[in-house]
Structure 1
Amino acid sequence: MTDSATASTPTMPRRTTRRFDLARTALFAYVVLFLLFILAPLIVVIGSSFEPRELLRFPPQGLSLRWYHQALNSDLFVGAAWNSLIIAVLATLGALLLGVPAAYGLARFDFRGREAVSGLLNSPLLVPELVMGLALLQILAGLHIASSLVTLTFGHILICLPYVVRTIHSAVLGVDRSIEEAAANLGAARWRIYLTILLPIIRPALYAAILFSFLMSFDNAVLSLFLVSARTSTLPISVYNYVQYSLDPAIAAVSTLLMAVSVVALFTASRLVPLDRIKQ
């Protein structure tokens, strides 16, 4: 019995190792398939943008920057891109001016109806943009206000505000109240505490809020569809309209440039707010 027991003992680590290898292989295969599922549409779009002929296809039958040149020299796309950039910057600033004080008040003050106010500020995350766009269009029509960059900016502020409020609210809750109380005991006014102490501490959250707001506004299509006009068309809306009557690689080139803008924004944010600071 002793010999048989000792003979069968070495087989246990082999089974464990074999199971571990199978699990690791399965995990690796899952990760590869998941990345292919996520990246395949992007690869198709990027590859199609280099097609030299007037046909959107993948893989391309050559390599050409013709459609990038056409997109960058198109009044339709360039004008819409400037509109998107202006609206995104203004919407981000508006969301910060409204959202940062609101988030601070929700985090630091106890008042009646605080939960209702918090729910109201975060409601754009729950209401479909299609519903919000239609409601805003009806309100503007009832007030006889024509669509413009101003009305479109207000609409984008509405969808950017929850991202600012949620991000800043979580950051303020993580700041020790004793820091503000110590500054107040030393004679600092509340606005001075707010500007010179609190905001520098939550600066990584500010960068994150700016990034989320800018990208949400710049890439927005559903809400903008109800509020744009011929003069205030944004880049996503121009891309949508262009696809309806033309399907050449220029649309792939514009989409690739949009992805490049998002990648640059994310890279800039990662340089401004390293991951180790976020974990802290």
Structure 2
Amino acid sequence: MKEKHTLLGWITFLVFLFLLGPLVIIIGASFGPDNYLTFPPNGFSLKWYENVFHVEMFWTSFKISMLVALLGIVLSFLLGIPAAYALSRYQFKGKGFFTSFFISPIIIPGIVFGYGLLKYLVITYHIPIFPGVLIGHVVIMIPYVIRVISSSLMNFDYSVEEAAMSLGASRLKTFFVVVLPNIRSGIIAGILLAFLESFNNVDVSVFMTGPGVSTLPISMLNYVEYYFDPTIAAISVLFMLMTAVLIAAIERTLGLRFFTK
């Protein structure tokens, strides 16, 4: 039994090493003083973190990524909240189909989905680059919004809504005054999760971006093609920190158990 536990411990250690090893290498390389990526670093320097803020391409694409993410949050919630409410509140024919339809963007492989958007939005309908990127990001954000809001609505007592309407409140007023305040934790978690999905997205952005419109992950890919310094490692560490902070905020707000049900 002891040997079995020891073997299981080593297997667990190797799995974590496989998963976390590349992150350790990136973090270590980001502090290297040399003009090329090396691990272990030959010293300690923060100049590559400083260089992140001096590369104009990163600043420009960062602003575009923020704009796309913020606009995408607004649009995905305008579409996702009513859809989540309808799917959670009512029983109707075809409910399973609509549930699968709204979740499908995260089931389809990202490359396939991105190519499909390129073919129909850009090539067929000649939609400008920025609106095309925004549409693509909204589509991939909606499933996360619906999943989170639906999870919150599962714990909502609809008798409270019915009581408000019986006292004279309209259905629309009840929705805004009674329902939404009671699922605010889910809304906050949905905002954070949708922001992460949009800001870190590569699959859709790599097909939809173009001249003058590029998100930060795509600018990072372009930078790697011509430069081999640890700047990319530094900005990757900043990405990891931002993601960790937002995931911690989601956990404190709603709890990650809602995403694994």
TM-score of the superposed pair, with normalisation by structure 1: 0.84
Tell me the residue number matched to 1:146. Answer: 128
Shift of 1:30: 4.3
Shift of 1:145: 2.4
Closer, same or farther in 2 for the Cα pair 1:277/1:155, shift >3 Å?
closer
Amino acid at match of 2:67: I
TM-score of the superposed pair, with normalisation by structure 2: 0.90
Is 2:250 the partner of 1:269? yes
Shift of 1:269: 2.9
Tell me the residue number matched to 1:250. Answer: 231
Matches of 1:217 and 1:235, distance apart in 2: 11
Matches of 1:196 and 1:22, distance apart in 2: 60
Matches of 2:18 and 2:7, distance apart in 1: 16
Tell me the residue number matched to 2:86. Answer: 105
Is 2:210 the partner of 1:229? yes
1:153-192 superposed matches below 5 A: 153-192=134-173
Shift of 1:208: 2.2
Larger Rg: 1
Confirm or deny: 8 A CA contact 2:202 2:217 kept in the other structure: yes
- Structure 1 unmatched ranges of 5 or more: 1-18
Closer, same or farther in 2 for the Cα pair 1:276/1:103, shift >3 Å?
closer
> CA-atom RMSD, angstroms?
2.3
Amino acid at match of 2:95: R
Shift of 1:146: 2.5
1:5-154 superposed matches below 5 A: 19=1, 25-26=6-7, 28-139=9-120, 140-148=122-130, 150-154=131-135
> Any idea what the Cα deviations from partners look like across 1:145-169, whole Å, max 9, x if unmatched?
2212x22111100001111112212
Matches of 1:152 and 1:277, distance apart in 2: 29
Shift of 1:267: 2.9
Moved beyond 6 Å, runs of 4+: 274-278
Shift of 1:255: 0.8
> Any idea what the Cα deviations from partners look like across 1:245-268, whole Å, max 9, x if unmatched?
222111111111111111221233
> Any idea what the Cα deviations from partners look like across 1:29-48, whole Å, max 9, x if unmatched?
44443332222111100110
The share of aligned pairs that are identical, in percent, is 39
Amino acid at match of 2:102: L
Amino acid at match of 1:132: F
Matches of 1:115 and 1:166, distance apart in 2: 14
Return 241-250 or 199-208, whichever deviates more.
199-208
Q: Secondary structure at the match of 1:161?
A: helix
